[in-house]
Structure 1
Amino acid sequence: MQTPTRATAPTEPRDTPTLPTTRAAGRREQRFAGPALLLLAAVAVLWYYRVPPATTAIFALYLALGIALPGTLWWRFLTRKPGMADIPAGLALGYVGEVFTYIPARLAGAPLLVLAWPLGTIAVFLSCKSLRRYFLSAPDPDRPPAAWRWAMTAMCGLPLLWSVKFYRVYGLSYPANASPDTDSTFHLALLGEARHHMPMRVPWIEGEPLLYHWFVYPEMAATSWVTGIEPNVLLLRLSMLPMLMAFTLLVALLARQVTGGWWTGAAASAVTLLVLAPNPYQWQLYAFYRDMAFSGLDDGGALRQTVWTGPTQTFGALLFVPLMLVLTDLLRGGAGRRAWLLFALLLAGVMGAKATYLPLLAAGLALLVALDRVRRRRWSRPALAALALTCAGALAAQLILFGGSSQGTKLAPLTDMATGGIGVTTAYSAGRVPWRLLVLAALTLLCWAAIWAGLAGLRRRPLSPELVVMLGIGLAGATATLLLGQDGDSQRYFLESARPYLSIAAVAGLAAWLPGAMTWRRAAPLAAAAFLGLVVVQVVQQLGRHAIPRPATTAELVLPYAGLGLVTLALYAAARRIRRGPPAFALLVALLAGFGASTSAQHFALIAQESRQQGWRDVVRDSRYVSEGTLEAGRWLREHSAPDDLVATNAHCLTFEGRCSNLHFSMTAYSERRMLVEGWGFATTAHAEAQRLGTWVGAVPYWKPEVLAANDAVFAAPSVENVAALRDRYRVRWLFVDETQSTVSPELSTFARFRYRSGVCAVYELPRS
């Protein structure tokens, strides 16, 4: 910086704004312009999808003051390291504090005591003079450039844009809410359970313990109690959006912390969200895979439909990134005792948020400990301490939260290939012929190599401790996906959980070939190579057949990928001859990223195509899982019954491919009341029965046939005796009838008091003994 001379010294009075002050004001405006634009876009999208701006404002106010503010204050206090991560990481920490406050508040029967978390935090930080400074963000010595801010605004806007795919077919009222997948009513039922009971049980079947990662449900339950927003609006519209946006930003900030460059952060988020398995086929996958936005070969995509239909994964993904931020500081030796406390708090949150994360983290830390011992002949104390805490958390989760059960997860190599999009759509995996599954596994590994090709560049730089951990997480996630199976295909979550950390490591490898700042001149050839990759995939697709090859031959599946491979080799050889511009390796990585970005582009194009053809909102699909009147009758029952009242229903069956499935949860979901037996799928016993019988969890028969018979007898042939048995033996208080499910005797009103009807659903109250 030049020192002003007498000729250039400012002569304005002290109260007149100077140029530096104007520039600072401009920087502040730029800092908030992107988030403000994103907020306005979110309000508009939510308004279009039936969420009034007033509801969004109430949610945003509680999110800011009740969750993000206390979390940010504690994050700043515990890290003592100012930076851009304060607010998104503080939001994640705020969720943890909210959950751990709500659980005892719900146990005490006073759910609104969850407000002790924000109010107590604010009171502590206001009353202590030394803590008041944490209300203001400390100046960050290294502010990001404007281009990075706008790039991250666009990246954080991707989940909002992608949400259209979910919002348009997951409506809030009938008939638009009639055709969700089974997972959404499952999660809504558990959210209702968290609103009224602690400890939680499986609410759609009496007497079954809840052995599950359930922390996201107390979070949404607390938000519902404080704001008054209906649970289905939170689950299907509001709660996931800030989690996904904060996750996207935190991945970028973690990449920046690891590599030291701003451009790597934006690149890591882009790879995490957009670079998928290349798809060289012109034909489309079956409807299930298209609807869920799965690629033909599993790639752990971070914007699959499961980020909305599986809130546990979204919640766990968000909490795990700040955990890795703290762990990076601890492994580098630049953090104090407060950081260990923060690590333990976040670890406890992740422990109950999603089961996949702690085993992956333990694998990554174990790899670091082993490498340090081999390479440096010493033990890494921070890594050993973090590994001990992680193993303790994983053991506690397995014993306390999961009761030692496997939830249907077992050693079943290549299950992911057998149930994947290409194998099922083309019938190539029919019969699970081993050599065919190995072909699909080889193609999958090639796709993974294309997505994370930058990993090869890590040989040019010393591996930092945090990168070793990330590589261990990625290796464990890929291995678990290949070797394990689960009757709901949950083995896919291992790779999805590892994807951000493989992406960060891959971008770190690319950065080793491109040291220094990323200028527009350096970025242009890389962008051109990525665009070329996208075009190449489109050309290969057009050269192939339009109709689904069924049953497909090995050549029909392999040759399009072989074509991509030949093009890649040719372009790489040509790039090596070019003396100027980025290294050939960097251009190769960009080209392969373009292959994967083509799949994302097709996913977005499919959203636009289906929306133009079928409608942009309130789309009703053929398979209807929620009957007319379920929502209204459920809410009436919720308002006129006690939380501990037990309900019996005649609805047990969802029809899949002409057969009855036990995955019926909508009565429990909308009434927020426990059922004697509605469905019985997704319970721990159901998973055990599926494994014993060698069948799908949704097809197992109920293991208590006498209870089911007593339940159904009241609806089919009511009498004084069977009504008394249901009331006195099983403590049933209410009957919830769906007249489309089974024959209901017209004499039911003789033995039970009719109370309410909506659509095909009716509510009856049993007489007291």
Structure 2
Amino acid sequence: MQTPTEAADPDVTDTVPARVAPHRGPLRRGLRSGWLPVGLLWVATTAALWFFEVPPTTTIVFTLYLTLGVALPGTLWWRFLGRGGGFFVADVAAGLALGYIGEVFVYVGARLLGLPLLVLAWPVGTVAAFLVIPSLRRHWRGAADAPVPPLLWRWSLTAIAGMTLLWSFKFYRLYGLRYPYNSTPDTDSTFHLALVGEARHHMPMMVPWITGEPLWYHWFVYPEIAASSWVTGIEPQVLLLRLSMLPMLMAFAVLVAVLARKVTGGWWSGVAASALTLFVLSPNPYQWVTGEFYTNLAFSALEDGSSLRLTVWSGPTQTFGALLMVPLMIVLIDRLRERRDGRGWALFAVLLAGVMGAKATYLPLLGCGLLLAVGAELLRHRTLHRGALTGLGITAAGLVFSQVVLFGGTSQGTAFKPLTTLITGGLGGSTGYAAGEVTGRLLVLLVLLLCCWACIWAGLAGLLRRRLPEPAVVTMIGIGVAGAGATLLTGQSGDSQRFFIEAARPYLSVAAIVGLWSLLPAGRFTARRAWALIGFVALGVVVTQVIQAGGSDHLPTVGNTGSYAALTRAVVLPYAALAAVAVAVTAALMLARRRVPAVRGMVVALVVALLAGYGSNASLQNYVTILRDSTHAGWKNVVKGDEIVADGVLEAGRWLRDHSDPDDLVATNAHCQRWNKECTNLHFSMSAYSERRMLVEGWGFTTTAHAEAARLGTWVGHVPYWRHEILADNDAAFRDPSPQRVGLLRDRYGIRWLFVDESQDNVSPRLPEFATERYRSGVAAVYELPSA
């Protein structure tokens, strides 16, 4: 096993010779084949999706398109631009990410031409080029000297990918595909579905739920889903809520492992990094629950940037950006190791272009990381690092372009608001401890949060025992520090500042694993040491369980504890107990190292594993919660929360989609979306299911709404509509229809269709006198306006 120092030499890392397998019988070869775990995972995924109302034929069609239309062309170009690529699993996972970018860019052009199926030029053109051009044909095979992953490594990563599938049950059971089971998702799902519908029919995209509002947003995931829908014929809702995120999640888990192996040269560092990224959360020593909102989203009591929370599905932009960022970092490693390769920089630029439009959080963090690498090299060698400078220049250009062209120079409501994450977080919000935003109590929460982060990424301490890490690791540390800082120092009306630490999590995790490797004697990872580390992780889980069992199951508040001082004790003491055990274990290990040879040189590494066990308990409990809730309330089609989609809106919306022109403008009476019994402007279901632009439906989550929220000092969901005349003209036609009012919608605004939700209290029974009813389902009706 190579040490991180040895792996810094690219010739050592990348040219491990392939192993020659001895002759074996067909059955044994099959059992040892890398295809077996992949095949079993696919079968399990197909079965799970079938249970959640996705027919196997739909999954097969989607798999065929994903394989032949996205992953295949992406893998071929990955191998070409990467000069041969690496081992098969790494090539395909990175190729899938690159394939998504090619698909998005080609679809945008195809949609601009009005020929969405022209997106097939991406796979067809690529395959033709790699068949016809002699110099490209060799890329159908992987590199001859590519390393062969150990069989247990493949099974381990398959298990990790399978855990993402199991975790997805938490989402699937709450987000159904038909009424009433689709009626109670969060507003984010209809928001994203509306934008997928917009991408299916229009380019450039606009905000579809109000007229005249530009889309200043990271929108690349929507053309990807739209392209998949056009080619496969699968409904956008099925893609968004069932199919599209799964391969992104699984490929992300694999690529984090590939990235860690690239840095350290050790196979098992990859498994550890992937597990750390996905499953080690903020320790949660409380027996009481922090609040349904946080448990539903898989948040711990204190923010941890979890890569497995419901926003992975209800916020697909983060999932898409997270996937695309990892191969970008893989490519960057070689560039930072001063490999002068024009193709490599071209690949870096293409990946960065994809990340740029996938999620806005990544480029600023990458710029900070590269800036730290430049500064570190300047201090260490008194010279400017050429690779880091080049990467920084490309990143800066992409950042400027994205801010001007994609985001219109807007901040989307993000501003300097220190400790907002603590104020709105699970611990501070559920207990009321953050009420009044008192500085002293916020500092208590801040200390607890920093201690939680220290438990997750304790392996970073190992980097202090060696000389300054290589620029790639320094860059990851810079990304992590920037992500943590942005999370603590900024705030956004939708709490989106949390995405900064989520974006940084994989790179902090990889850097922590590099540090952990440095803590092992001679930097060597053996089976005995692996079992010792796993044992201390298990010990950390047990310790946390014991502390939880000794606590109260009643949520403490200032009301039931009597004072903020007593509430402080209830909040702090469980964490203090965890810290005390860690100190005691450390002391015991220090004493034992003189008598137990196996402990010698392993003290810090074992303590790191103990702290990781504290965080692993939180992840374990999330899985237990899935099992418990599913057993008690049902494994699927659970209706829970406020109604977001009214009865019949899905059917009426699809009828309108099938019988109207994509450029038709629609008027609706539905504006009020109930959330926690309050009326909000976050109503998007009419545009989501009709895939048509609305004169005015909701108006939340837009650039103007965020600006108005900042100006008025209120939440974005409570902002009144700023174009009063349009809203008045729209609502008058429904509330008190007349030939003049209906005609005004038709003649001034170009309205042809009315999409009505009769459960709202602003619809006159006389409306059919002035418009022709064309379709009805549940409380939803579609009317066509008479011609002038």
* Pairwise TM-score range, normalised by the shorter structure: over 0.9
What displacement does 1:758 show? 0.3
Partner of 2:319: 314
1:20 pairs with one of 19, 22, 28: 22
Amino acid at match of 1:33: L
Query: Contact 2:78–2:85 at 8 Å: present in 1 too?
Result: no
Q: Secondary structure at the match of 1:581?
A: helix
What displacement does 1:24 show? 10
What displacement does 1:519 show? 3.1
Partner of 2:120: 115
Q: Secondary structure at the match of 1:22?
A: coil
State yes or no: 1:339 paired with 2:344. yes
2:51 pairs with one of 33, 48, 59: 48
Q: Which runs of 5+ in 2 are unaligned?
A: 1-19, 559-563
Query: Contact 1:79–1:335 at 8 Å: present in 2 too?
Result: no
Partner of 1:10: none
Partner of 1:563: 577
Query: Contact 1:576–1:584 at 8 Å: present in 2 too?
Result: yes
Listed as ranges, the matches of 1:704-715 within 5 Å are: 704-715=723-734
Partner of 2:540: 533
Q: Secondary structure at the match of 1:623?
A: coil
Amino acid at match of 1:80: R
Amino acid at match of 1:572: T
Query: Contact 2:107–2:119 at 8 Å: present in 1 too?
Result: yes
For residues 119-143 of structure 1, the C-alpha deviation after alignment (integer angstroms, 9 at most, x for no partner) is 0001111001221111122335422
Give the distance between the partners of 2:409 and 2:25, measured in 1 at CA.
Answer: 59
Give the distance between the partners of 1:652 and 1:111, measured in 2 at CA.
Answer: 31
Partner of 2:353: 348
What displacement does 1:581 show? 1.8
Amino acid at match of 2:548: Q
Alignment CA distance shift 1:733-1:106 (3 Å): same
Amino acid at match of 1:67: V
Partner of 1:631: 650
1:137 pairs with one of 133, 142, 151: 142
What displacement does 1:688 show? 0.4
Query: Contact 2:420–2:491 at 8 Å: present in 1 too?
Result: yes
Cα root mean square deviation, aligned: 1.3
Partner of 1:504: 510
Amino acid at match of 1:537: T
2:624 pairs with one of 588, 602, 605: 605
Partner of 2:4: none
Query: Contact 1:261–1:517 at 8 Å: present in 2 too?
Result: no
Listed as ranges, the matches of 1:207-222 within 5 Å are: 207-222=212-227
Listed as ranges, the matches of 1:471-550 within 5 Å are: 471-514=477-520, 515=522, 518-550=525-557
Amino acid at match of 1:221: A
State yes or no: 1:664 paired with 2:683. yes
Give the distance between the partners of 1:415 and 1:753, measured in 2 at CA.
Answer: 50
State yes or no: 1:554 paired with 2:568. yes
**Range with greater deviation from structure 2 (433-442 or 307-316):** 433-442
Alignment CA distance shift 1:335-1:256 (3 Å): farther
**Range with greater deviation from structure 2 (614-623 or 518-527):** 518-527
**Range with greater deviation from structure 2 (284-293 or 691-700):** 284-293
Give the distance between the partners of 1:59 and 1:436, measured in 2 at CA.
Answer: 51
Partner of 2:667: 648
Partner of 1:181: 186
Q: Secondary structure at the match of 1:755?
A: strand
What displacement does 1:549 show? 0.3
Partner of 1:245: 250
Q: Secondary structure at the match of 1:198?
A: coil
Partner of 1:467: 473
Amino acid at match of 1:152: L
| TM-score of the two chains, using structure 2 as the length reference | 0.94
For residues 494-532 of structure 1, the C-alpha deviation after alignment (integer angstroms, 9 at most, x for no partner) is 000000000000011010122455333221111111111
Query: Contact 2:338–2:386 at 8 Å: present in 1 too?
Result: no
Give the distance between the partners of 2:573 and 2:631, measured in 1 at CA.
Answer: 33
State yes or no: 1:275 paired with 2:275. no
Amino acid at match of 1:40: V
| TM-score of the two chains, using structure 1 as the length reference | 0.96
What displacement does 1:706 show? 1.3
Partner of 2:129: 124
Give the distance between the partners of 1:335 and 1:756, measured in 2 at CA.
Answer: 63
Query: Contact 1:575–1:584 at 8 Å: present in 2 too?
Result: yes
Give the distance between the partners of 1:53 and 1:221, measured in 2 at CA.
Answer: 21
Partner of 2:13: none
Amino acid at match of 1:469: T
Deviating 4+ runs (over 6 angstroms): none
Give the distance between the partners of 1:694 and 1:136, measured in 2 at CA.
Answer: 59
2:693 pairs with one of 670, 674, 693: 674
What displacement does 1:232 show? 0.2
Give the distance between the partners of 1:725 and 1:473, measured in 2 at CA.
Answer: 54
Give the distance between the partners of 2:694 and 2:544, measured in 1 at CA.
Answer: 51
Partner of 1:429: 434
Query: Contact 2:665–2:751 at 8 Å: present in 1 too?
Result: yes
Partner of 2:165: 160
Give the distance between the partners of 1:19 and 1:338, measured in 2 at CA.
Answer: 33
**Range with greater deviation from structure 2 (748-757 or 25-34):** 25-34
Give the distance between the partners of 2:232 and 2:141, measured in 1 at CA.
Answer: 26
Give the distance between the partners of 1:258 and 1:122, measured in 2 at CA.
Answer: 32
Give the distance between the partners of 2:140 and 2:643, measured in 1 at CA.
Answer: 50
Partner of 1:744: 763
Partner of 2:206: 201
Query: Contact 2:332–2:348 at 8 Å: present in 1 too?
Result: yes
Give the distance between the partners of 1:446 and 1:535, measured in 2 at CA.
Answer: 19
Amino acid at match of 1:595: Y
For residues 441-490 of structure 1, the C-alpha deviation after alignment (integer angstroms, 9 at most, x for no partner) is 11000000111000000123330110000000000000000000000000
Amino acid at match of 1:695: T
For residues 399-424 of structure 1, the C-alpha deviation after alignment (integer angstroms, 9 at most, x for no partner) is 01110011000000000000000001
What displacement does 1:27 show? 5.6
What displacement does 1:544 show? 1.3
Give the distance between the partners of 2:754 and 2:652, measured in 1 at CA.
Answer: 11
Amino acid at match of 1:144: P
1:754 pairs with one of 756, 770, 773: 773
1:695 pairs with one of 703, 714, 721: 714
* Percent pairwise identity: 62
Query: Contact 2:209–2:694 at 8 Å: present in 1 too?
Result: yes
Partner of 1:76: 79
Give the distance between the partners of 2:212 and 2:533, measured in 1 at CA.
Answer: 59
Alignment CA distance shift 1:620-1:499 (3 Å): same
What displacement does 1:26 show? 4.9
Give the distance between the partners of 2:151 and 2:765, measured in 1 at CA.
Answer: 70
**Range with greater deviation from structure 2 (522-531 or 293-302):** 522-531
What displacement does 1:308 show? 0.6
Amino acid at match of 1:477: G
Give the distance between the partners of 1:264 and 1:578, measured in 2 at CA.
Answer: 27
Give the distance between the partners of 2:709 and 2:464, measured in 1 at CA.
Answer: 46
Query: Contact 2:517–2:524 at 8 Å: present in 1 too?
Result: no
Give the distance between the partners of 2:705 and 2:523, measured in 1 at CA.
Answer: 55
Give the distance between the partners of 2:143 and 2:23, measured in 1 at CA.
Answer: 18
Give the distance between the partners of 1:715 and 1:147, measured in 2 at CA.
Answer: 64
Amino acid at match of 2:257: A
Partner of 2:12: none
Q: Secondary structure at the match of 2:776?
A: strand
Query: Contact 1:415–1:483 at 8 Å: present in 2 too?
Result: yes
What displacement does 1:198 show? 0.1
For residues 213-262 of structure 1, the C-alpha deviation after alignment (integer angstroms, 9 at most, x for no partner) is 00000000000000000000000000000000000000000000001101
Give the distance between the partners of 2:583 and 2:357, measured in 1 at CA.
Answer: 46
Give the distance between the partners of 1:683 and 1:382, measured in 2 at CA.
Answer: 38
Amino acid at match of 2:383: R
Q: Which runs of 5+ in 1 are unaligned?
A: 1-17
Give the distance between the partners of 1:378 and 1:201, measured in 2 at CA.
Answer: 47
Give the distance between the partners of 2:144 and 2:96, measured in 1 at CA.
Answer: 20
Give the distance between the partners of 1:43 and 1:406, measured in 2 at CA.
Answer: 40
